Chains A and B, each alone.
Chain A
Amino acid sequence: MVNNKHKNKLNEVIKQTLSSYEAPYLTADWPQMERILDSAPKSSSYRYKQKLLSSVESLTTISKSKSVKWVFSPYFLIAIVVGFGAYFLYNILSSSNTFDDTTNVIPEQTISMEPQESSTSSYIPTDSLNMGNELLPTPDTTGAALLTTDKTAVQAIEPELINKEIIVPEKINLIEKIEKTVVKKEEPILLKVNTPALPVIRDSAKVISEKALEKTETNPTQLENKPQPENSPGRNNFLLPANTADSIKKYKSTQPLDSL
């Protein structure tokens, strides 16, 4: 009991001594404190908070006036927030949609850019001719381009072929056809080309056909193998004694003039 009393007394002495303890003042400590105060950043939160509080206070005073009271109602504020949220979402969604559209468009474009197969159908590809999928109008004979000057070939043209429509599926196919028809001369063809739609093609076709004609006319082997009618002034014609240049000229002058 006595020991416990002493212990409690000791604890009380320690407590009283320490709680009332005051350290001696040192004048050198204030300059140190002053330096710390100078170097320490001033609490900007105080001023910021003051400004914030003053602004809130001014807003509340404004809101008290009846004229603008509805502006500060919670419903109005909620509506503004919802509106902004919706606009934001719309922006996000629209941006994502546009991205999808572009991604979808790219393969379509690539598909359309691929060269289409040359078909024998009577429809003209829009890419190659810049026209709709329409049949070419029947050209008149005056606008037709005669691609051969050979009289026998002209005579051999069947009348139904003159007005026959030739549908050109593609530019390349057309050129190839022209070359074939001119070089081989197996079938006399009157190529009629749509003048307004295919000026370039027609011109190029003319050039190509003329070149081909030059080749065939100057090539002696082709001239020899050329099939000739029986009454034509050929080398093997028995009516002509010799196929000289003079004899051919004479023969030509005796023949009637070509109406074409």
Chain B
Amino acid sequence: MNENDIIKGCLKNNRESQKALYDTYYNKMLGVCLRYSKDNSEAKEILHEGFIKIFNNLKNFKVSDPFEGWIKKIMVATAVDYLNKNKQNLIVSTFYANKTGENTLDEISDEEIILNIDKEEILKAVQELTPAYRKVFNLFVIEEYSHKQIAEMLDISEDTSESNLSKAKFNLRRNIQQIIKKPDGK
């Protein structure tokens, strides 16, 4: 079943086509959701919510656009909405970050970090960021949005976006160093 057949089947609410679409983009989209969420369960909530939106809005998809990019956009928007909705998590995470945060970095060189860290640890370091920092970091660094776009998306000022990005990078480096320092970090 090719992409066009999947789309046509999903437009007719065909369950097999829906499953085919889900299976095809599950891995990549769950990876996106994991970057924006604090853990696996939250990521799956976002994933399922995002797929519902995809199935419901499939009629709006333009054939000229890349399908994967369109799905990813919806998934990112769903993740941002999810984090905006759950502001309770933001308070808890901020409290946790303030409690455990340190303003100094260990003297571990970036080269050493690159050599010793794997993708799971990087993902874990990102998930440990506060939702506000996580959102700005993902949108700016991974999705490559501008600060202006981020400010519009998150309803914040551009200065706040820039400030959050710098803090997010600092905290991410600190999180990575802490993960590397731990003996059971890997």
Contact = CB atoms under 8 A, between A and B. Distances in A.
A34 to B, nearest CB: 7
Q: How large is the interface on A (under 10, 10 to 19, 20 to 34, 35 or more residues)?
A: 20 to 34
B35 A18 contact: yes
Contacts of A17: 119, 122-123
A19 interface: yes
B34 interface: yes
Q: Is chain A's binding surface mostly helix, strand, loop or mixed?
A: helix
B15 interface: yes
Nearest to A42: B13
Interface string A5-23: 0110111011101110111
Contacts of B172: 14
Nearest to A4: B110
B110 A7 contact: yes
Nearest to B44: A29
Contacts of B56: 43, 46
A25 B23 contact: yes
A9 B123 contact: no
A23 B142 contact: no
A23 B34 contact: yes
B23 A46 contact: no
B2 to A, nearest CB: 20
B31 A23 contact: yes
Contact of A40 (B27, B52, B122): B52
Contacts of B55: 37
A40 B172 CA distance: 37
In the A-B complex, list the 3 residue pairs whose CB atoms are closest, starting with the nearest.
A6-B110, A23-B30, A22-B27
